Amino acid sequence: MQSSVFHTQGHLLRTIFASALFLLAGAVNAQTTLWSEDFSSYSNGTITGNGSGASPAAWNSQTGAAVNGGLILAVNTRSAGSSTLANPLIWATNTIAITGYTNVTFSVDTGTFDTNQFENSGGAQDNFALEYRLDGGSWIQVFSRSGSSSQPINPSYTISGLTGTTLEIRATFHNTAGNENYTIDNVLVTGTPNITNQPPVVSGSGYQAYCPNSSLPIVEDISITDPDDTSTSAVYIQISGGYVNGEDLLTLTGTHPNITSSWDATQGELSLIGPATYTEFEAAILATEYSSSNASVTGTRQFSITVGEANYLPNTQHYYEFVSDPGITWTDAQVAAAGRNYFGLQGYLATLTTQEEADFSGSQAQGVGWIGATDDAVEGEWRWVTGPEAGTQFWSGGVGGTELTFAFWNNNEPNDYPDGPTTPGEENFAHITDPSVTTMPGSWNDLPNAGGGGAYAPQGYVVEYGGMPGDPTLSITATTTIVVKCHIITNRRITYRVIKN
């Protein structure tokens, strides 16, 4: 059934109190993995393509090739290949987003296990070819060998220096005898993040005592420096620890002609909106005060500051953002998320592996948002297929199935609705849904690739940044703190980075 929603926890959002260290030049220029497939997760002899069984991740059969003996394409040890095809068969990658990257490079290992290499047999001509195209244009040949060719196949091919919006790669297999086998393996696409904006460095201090029935500045001093900018468009201050919705409040005091403030009680976040100079934002941060309407308030409060759109979760050290894109399909959202980067961190559809992470992302989206899980390959085998967790199975079965790692399905999900003897289920993609249709905020539901209608119509997708090969290392330091006690606490200086627009 189409139901579930985001788990809204106001004390977690926009928490980037980022670090005081600049990105190392080597990390900034490092190649980022944009797409890969090594076929290692598939058993030998797995039949793939043309709807015959499960196809390896992100590969799609492009032709209706006739098959001898029922075998179309078989996964061999750590590779994919063909054997005894009556007509040509093409495997093609999905559309790989390369926006925001320069020097995009792809490599493919190739092999032939063929007594006669390439020949004509009974009027049919063997063929093995590799091609790619950019931005949906014409296919460009990397190599092509046929029955009329005596040129050998190289063990690997690499194409570099590519730029554009999208990249697709395809391999053509046509072999006419059982002793022939052409293979591809270790398909890898990388690119250098196109980073043109350096993050500022923010130094601040604040470890103070708060007395009830009063207000108190969240920082004692603040300094923002930037190697290439003097201003920014916004700063976000969030109560990232200990927040109590309905009691806690952040308020901008004083006069700030170029800055307006807006309080979000759900997220516990005060937005300071410019544009304004860093000097003006420093003054506004110093003038931001915490207060509680509870005369018996207890505990501590932590505060985070960010300049930028993504939010930071300290426990994962990853960034998250909800991208609004009404009506987007899951497959298109997967490509779009992979095309985003955040100061060199590669984006991907979020993989939510803890309750805190699920709560955090659910609070951000405020609507239907795709996440990076599917059982499209094998019904009932729910896997994360994006990010560092790609290939990890976290759930087995349908409603009442087995939780293998962490899952946060809504009640009576995933049910593959509609599912019956005459109507096979087609809900193979995971999402977080609108808060109006569940009693479990933040829980997940399965939907078709295009989503549903009404409250189940996709409104966008949740992007996660961090943990991918080639990502730069961001050293993150946390927060200023207020302790609810009426005595003085010795100050501590904290240095942190703030990521900006």
Domain boundary among 193, 213, 229: 193
3-state helix, strand and coil shares in percent for the chain, rounded to the nearest 5: 10, 40, 50
Write the pLDDT tens digit of every residue in 52-110. Answer: 333 333 333 333 333 333 333 444 433 444 545 555 667 777 788 887 788 999 999 88
Examine residue 485 and state whether it is found in any structural domain, yes or no. yes
* Dist CA 218 CA 209 (whole Å): 11
Please tell me whether residues 459 and 345 are part of one structural domain: yes
CATH number of the structural domain spanning residue 337: 3.10.100.10
Residue 1 falls inside a structural domain:
no
Q: Which helix (H) or strand (E) holds 97?
A: strand 96-97
**Judgement on whether residues 363 and 231 belong to the same structural domain of the protein:** no
Q: Is residue 329 part of a domain?
A: yes
Claim to verify: residue 39 and residue 181 sit in the same structural domain: yes
Q: How far does the chain reach from its first CA to its final CA, in angstroms?
A: 39
Same domain, 170 and 281: no
Q: How does pLDDT run across 410-444, given as a tens digit for each residue?
A: 888 998 887 544 445 689 999 997 788 888 888 99
Q: For 299-345, what is the HEC assignment? A: CEEEEEEECCCCEEECCCCEEEEEEECCCCCHHHHHHHHHCCEECCE
Q: Is residue 377 part of a domain?
A: yes
Give the DSSP letter of residue 85.
Answer: B
State which H helix or E strand residue 365 sits in: helix 355-365
Do 356 and 492 fall within a single domain?
no
Which residues pair with residue 190 across a beta bridge?
33, 105
Q: Which stretches of the chain score pLDDT less than 50?
A: 1-29, 45-81, 83, 115, 420-423, 475-478, 488-501
Residue 308: predicted pLDDT: 66
Alpha-carbon distance of 121 to 274, in angstroms, equals 72
What confidence score (pLDDT) does residue 256 get? 97
Could you tell me if residue 277 is inside a domain?
yes
Same domain, 342 and 229: no
Q: Are residues 63 and 184 in the same domain?
A: yes
pLDDT at residue number 479: 59
pLDDT value at residue 7:
29
In a domain, 334, yes or no: yes
Does 289 lie in the same domain as 334? no
Same-domain pairing of 98 and 140: yes
Domain count, the chain: 3
The answer to pTM > 0.85 is no
The CATH number of the domain holding residue 159 is: 2.60.120.260
361 part of a folded domain: yes
Are residues 69 and 135 located together in one domain of the fold? Answer: yes
Tokens of 379: 């019904």
**Structural domain ending residue among the three candidates 146, 161, 193:** 193
Q: What would the DSSP string read from start to end of 105-168?
A: EEEEEEEEEETTSS-EETTEE-EEEEEEEETT---EEEEEEETT--PPPPSEEEEEEE-SSEEE
Task: Give the pLDDT of residue 171.
Answer: 84
Q: Same domain for 143 and 73?
A: yes
pLDDT of residue 341: 83
Q: Could you say which of 139, 173, 193 is where a domain stops?
A: 193
Residues 372 and 454 in one domain: yes
Please compute, for residue 364, the number of CA atoms within 13 A of its CA located in the half-sphere on the CB side.
31
CATH number assigned to the domain comprising residue 254: 2.60.40
Domain interval for residue 99: 32-193
**414: cis peptide before it, omega within 30°?**
yes
Q: Is the dihedral of CA 133, 139, 140, 145 positive or negative?
A: positive
81 in any annotated domain: yes
- Cβ-in-10-Å burial (0-12, 13-18, 19+) of 414 comes to buried
